[in-house]
């Protein structure tokens, strides 16, 4: 039977053949073709120009590639996952190592690469002769591939020099890192996160691990034209102006690219933006189809100025007076709600003031602060509203539902003293009254609570509950907006004084006294529970 194809079908078949041929070329163009076949959409232009082409160009001059890019730019999907898979397809005989802030994050990336190799049609069409070697290893301890266009004995013979698996993912603090020699890709993806950036000691430890242990993994061969054998790649978002990413840049061994969500441009060449505390002017959006001005304004409102400048504009040097209270977030799915908890309450008059518009009246707020196993504390959730007296009493009773509830701290000054007598009708709420001792909100929230938020001893859950979203907005807009949930957090903090102690560094200048004095918290007199 003669098979007749339409012109459209012939054109489609031709394009598939050409696409397959292009994807098999180890080049930026080949990668862009593979990316489109795999994901069903074109590689973003900025990703090609600022990431992929520079990765190839840096390798030609014996340099690694360091990339900063805005949150949501698909840098992990594009570089860590898709480019690493593409590289393995072309160089299956080499070992590749992915390093993240934690082993679980690294396993997410290696798992995504594993799925591409094992299950996708794009892989099978582009690299039909590279398949999983499940006998050698196909799990989180290491993934192995093999070539099927030669005998297995010959394939293993090509790999006698290699002791590391084709693909392995590890956390930056993993002891298993010692002794690795990736001759393929050595990729560090977001090695900093909420957990390892909360103190100078932790930041220093990560920087030391990277510079003294990980960067020496890079393999060189001075007998080759390109002396750098390994492909070192670092991608992430800056955290502080002197973090480990700056240390990597300072080595002079990495080419650097920064891709913010938008860049300043000449008048008329982009969009004029005047919003919040952003510098008014003309900006060119990096990917306007996906991140429009409306999206950027949303990110700005939900992040606050400082975090927007860090996560989306990649600027950690911004200093703005009066711009909210700085804080660090903590993943909500890592919070154990059975941890010890103190509830803090910011009381409001439950009698409606006829002279004050309802929308401008203060809120009643109660904050749930959980003590973490490592000694820090995280605001896990809470409640705010304008309840009646009975509703407020019910809310206090609900706080007792948490297994680790210790007690509830209640401000007993002013109107709070009178209200406290009403709430004490319910002894099961375990109320502990505390006084302000004449300290106003600026003293309490800025000078006492503020530093503990900024240094990360007290964290804010990144969850999206109404209370958490409201609290983060209040923190970002302080002192220009409602302060009630911040005050509730303050009182919860005062009920957990053992958290408010900074760890003493082991290394330091010699003491002038013969005997070291014990470091104590300025809140020690409050009591410990």
Single out the residue of 366, 315, 323 nearest to residue 343, CA to CA. Answer: 366
Query: Which residues 6+ apart lie within 8 Å of 458 measured at CB?
Result: 327, 369, 376, 377, 378, 379, 449, 452, 489, 493, 499
Same domain for 144 and 27: yes
**pLDDT at residue 105 is higher than 70:** yes
**pLDDT at residue 10 is higher than 60:** no
Same domain for 232 and 188: yes
Same domain for 285 and 176: no
Same domain for 341 and 198: no
The pLDDT, as a whole number, for residue 525 is 37
Same domain for 306 and 355: no
Same domain for 338 and 277: no
The answer to whether 501 touches 519, Cβ cutoff 8 Å, is yes
d(CA 114, CA 395): 48
47 vs 397: which has the higher pLDDT = 47
Same domain for 291 and 420: no
The pLDDT, as a whole number, for residue 374 is 92
Q: Comparing 88-97, 131-140, 202-211, which segment has the lowest mean pLDDT?
A: 202-211
- Residue 523 included in any domain: no
- Residue 320 included in any domain: no
193 vs 349: which has the higher pLDDT = 193
Beta bridge partners, 384, equal: 365
Same domain for 401 and 385: yes
Q: Where are the beta strands (DSSP E) in 360-426?
A: 364-371, 377-385, 405-411
Q: Which whole number is the average pLDDT over 301-328?
A: 78
The residue with tokens 């802030």 is 101
d(CA 296, CA 59): 34
319 vs 239: which has the higher pLDDT = 239
Number of domains in the chain: 3
371 vs 515: which has the higher pLDDT = 371
Would you place residue 517 in the very low, low, confident or very high pLDDT band (cuts 50, 70, 90)?
Answer: very low
- Residue 229 included in any domain: yes
d(CA 71, CA 208): 26
Same domain for 100 and 166: yes
Tokens of 465: 């509950």
The pLDDT, as a whole number, for residue 524 is 41
Would you place residue 394 in the very low, low, confident or very high pLDDT band (cuts 50, 70, 90)?
Answer: confident
The answer to whether 365 touches 338, Cβ cutoff 8 Å, is no
d(CA 201, CA 157): 46
Tokens of 80: 């860590």
Same domain for 368 and 354: yes
Q: b vs e for 284-318, b when ≥16 Cβ sit within 10 Å of the residue's Cβ?
A: ebbbeeebeeeebeebbeebbbbbbbbbbbbebee
Q: Which whole number is the average pLDDT over 157-181?
A: 91
d(CA 43, CA 285): 17
- Residue 316 included in any domain: no
d(CA 222, CA 203): 34
User: Which residue segment(s) compose the domain that 72 sits in?
Assistant: 19-259
- Residue 273 included in any domain: yes
Q: Which whole number is the average pLDDT over 386-396?
A: 86
Same domain for 289 and 195: no
Same domain for 480 and 432: yes
Strand 167-171 and strand 96-100: the pairing is parallel
- Residue 179 included in any domain: yes
272 vs 429: which has the higher pLDDT = 272
Query: Which residues 6+ apart lie within 8 Å of 360 measured at CB?
Result: none
**pLDDT at residue 356 is higher than 50:** no
Q: At what angle do helices 28-39 and 7-23 cross, to 10 degrees?
A: 130
Q: What is the CATH number of the domain that holds 199?
A: 3.40.50
Q: Comparing 180-184, 290-294, 313-317, which segment has the lowest mean pLDDT?
A: 313-317
């Amino acid at each position: 039977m003669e098979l007749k194809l339409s012109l459209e079908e012939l054109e489609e078949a031709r394009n598939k053949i050409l696409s397959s041929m292009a994807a098999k070329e180890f080049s930026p163009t080949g990668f862009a073709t593979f990316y489109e076949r795999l994901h069903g959409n074109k590689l973003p232009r900025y990703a090609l120009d600022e990431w992929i082409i520079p990765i190839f160009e840096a390798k030609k001059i014996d340099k690694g590639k360091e990339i900063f890019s805005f949150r949501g730019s698909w840098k992990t999907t594009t570089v860590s996952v898709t480019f690493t898979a593409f590289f393995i397809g072309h160089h299956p005989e080499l070992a590749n190592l992915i390093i993240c802030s934690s082993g679980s994050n690294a396993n997410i990336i290696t798992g995504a690469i594993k799925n591409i190799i094992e299950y996708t049609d794009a892989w099978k069409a582009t690299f039909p002769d590279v398949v999983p070697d499940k006998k050698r290893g196909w799990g989180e301890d290491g993934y192995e591939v093999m070539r099927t266009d030669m005998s297995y004995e010959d394939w293993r013979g090509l790999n006698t020099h290699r002791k590391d698996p084709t693909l392995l993912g590890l956390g930056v603090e993993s002891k298993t890192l010692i002794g690795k020699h990736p001759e393929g890709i050595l990729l560090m993806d977001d090695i900093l996160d909420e957990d390892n950036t909360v103190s100078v000691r932790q930041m220093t430890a990560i920087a030391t691990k990277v510079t003294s242990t990980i960067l020496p993994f890079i393999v060189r061969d001075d007998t080759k034209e390109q002396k750098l054998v390994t492909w070192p790649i670092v991608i992430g978002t800056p955290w502080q102006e002197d973090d480990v990413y700056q240390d990597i840049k300072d080595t002079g061994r990495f080419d650097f690219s920064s891709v913010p969500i938008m860049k300043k441009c000449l008048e008329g060449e982009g969009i004029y933006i005047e919003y919040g505390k952003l510098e008014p002017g003309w900006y060119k959006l990096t990917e306007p189809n996906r991140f429009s001005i409306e999206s950027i304004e949303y990110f700005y409102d939900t992040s606050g100025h400082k975090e927007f400048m860090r996560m989306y504009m990649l600027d950690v040097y911004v200093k703005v007076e009066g711009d909210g209270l700085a804080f660090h977030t903590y993943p909500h799915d890592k919070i154990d709600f059975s941890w010890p908890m103190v509830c803090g309450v910011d009381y409001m008059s439950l009698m409606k003031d006829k002279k004050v518009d309802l929308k401008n009246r203060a809120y009643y707020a109660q904050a749930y602060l959980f003590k973490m196993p490592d000694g820090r504390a995280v605001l896990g959730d809470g409640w705010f509203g304008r309840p009646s007296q009975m509703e407020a009493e019910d809310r206090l009773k609900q706080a007792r539902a948490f297994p680790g509830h210790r007690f509830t701290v209640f401000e007993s000054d002013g109107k709070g003293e009178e209200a406290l007598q009403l709430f004490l009708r319910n002894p099961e709420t375990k109320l502990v009254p505390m006084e302000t001792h004449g300290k106003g909100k600026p003293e309490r929230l800025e000078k006492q609570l503020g530093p503990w938020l900024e240094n990360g001893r007290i964290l804010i859950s990144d969850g999206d509950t109404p209370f958490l979203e409201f609290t983060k907005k209040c923190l970002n807009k302080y002192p220009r907006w409602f302060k009630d949930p911040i005050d509730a957090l303050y009182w919860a903090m005062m009920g957990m004084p053992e958290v408010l102690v900074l760890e003493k560094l082991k290394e330091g200048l010699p003491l002038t006294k013969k005997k070291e004095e014990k470091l104590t918290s300025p809140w020690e007199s409050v009591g410990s529970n």
